[in-house]
Amino acid sequence: MGIFGVIYNPSNSIEEALSWEVSKAGTLSFSPREEPVFTVQEIEDPYSPEDPDILKLVSFESSGENVQALLRIPDNAFSVPGIVLLPGAGVSKEGEQGLAVELSKMGYATLTLDQRNKGAINVDRDLELFRAGLEPVEYLMVYDVLKAADVLSVQPEIDPERLAVLGESNGGRFAIIACALEPSLKGVMGISTSGYGTEGVDPASVADSEAYRFYRSIDPDTYLSALPPSRLVMFHSFNDTVVPHDLALRTFDLAEEPKAMYNTTEETHGFTASMRSDLEKELAQILS
């Protein structure tokens, strides 16, 4: 039956009991989500003041916490596609606005999250929580992405039928898992990201089956078969300074169609200008 947990916070304006489960194969799932609860406030745009974008500060409830996000909407937008944007570890929603601005110029609205711990993870602590039947923070981070998609879908400027998720580095890992768990998302784009390689471990050789099941549950590679018909697109530099290219290629090779991968040569990690044209092309295909 797997591990089962419940989180309840009576301070929520909607009393949401969050249940989660991990199968014997290591696949995470959640109970059906309640309607999103959020606030929206239009603010000045100090990140790209020369552009006519509309910028809003969004606060939404997820698992008993208030998650902060920035909603960037192209000027005069009506029924535009929306993208949940996940920064890499250590990067705030404000620090991700450079890419959000580029996406706006392509005609896409973005909801950029402040992820818990700013996207950083503590795998050992999460394993302790898992063993105790308590919810690992990484599961909460996945759930935040799903709730963000719910919030984005009900904004008046957004076409709820044209949503995708994009993540950089560690954000790309959460993006892949969330897209596999949410069929309404048309695609996922991962920049400078990869899985952890648990697909290559023989379960029969594992001494600690519970630890193996947990590691499987946080590995994007575990969820690749559940992505179709959503499209997976990966962008990676041959000379990435953080996530080696061969790890990204391993994840891509495991994925099923539809998929695409684009490679660059810069010695850097994350989005680069050389990725822009291919990103624009892929977004047009996914969110047309």
Identify any residues that bridge with 71 across adjacent strands, giving them in sequence order: 56, 111
Q: Is pTM beyond 0.85 here?
A: yes
Rounded distance between C-alpha atoms, residue 77 and residue 226, angstroms: 32
Q: Name the architecture of domain 3-286.
A: 3-Layer(aba) Sandwich (3.40)
pLDDT values of the chain reduced to their tens digit, one per residue, 288 residues:
233 232 223 333 333 445 899 999 999 999 999 999 999 999 999 999 999 999 999 999 999 999 999 999 999 889 999 999 999 999 999 999 999 999 999 999 999 999 999 889 999 999 999 999 999 999 999 999 999 999 999 999 999 999 999 999 999 999 999 999 999 999 999 999 999 999 999 998 999 999 999 999 999 999 999 999 999 999 999 999 999 999 999 999 999 999 999 999 999 999 999 999 999 999 999 999
Both tokens of 30, joined, read: 């959640």
What is the tens place of the pLDDT at every residue in 109-124?
999 999 999 889 999 9
In the chain, the largest separation of any two C-alpha atoms, in whole Å, equals 59
What string of DSSP letters covers the chain?
--EEEEE--TTSSS---EEEEE-TT--EEEPPPPPP-EEEEEE--SSSTTS--EEEEEEEEETTEEEEEEEEE-TT--SEEEEEEEPPTT--TTTTHHHHHHHHHTT-EEEEE--GGGG---HHHHHHHHHTTPPPHHHHHHHHHHHHHHHHHTSTTEEEEEEEEEEETHHHHHHHHHHHH-TTEEEEEEES-----GGGS-GGG-S-HHHHHHHHHT-GGGGGGG-TTSEEEEEEETT-SSS-HHHHHHHHHHSPSSEEEEEE--S-SS--GGGHHHHHHHHHHH--
Q: Which residue has the tokens 């406030």?
A: 41
Q: Provide the residue ranges of all domains of the chain, joining segments of one domain with +.
A: 3-286
What is the tens place of the pLDDT at every residue in 250-267?
999 999 999 999 999 999
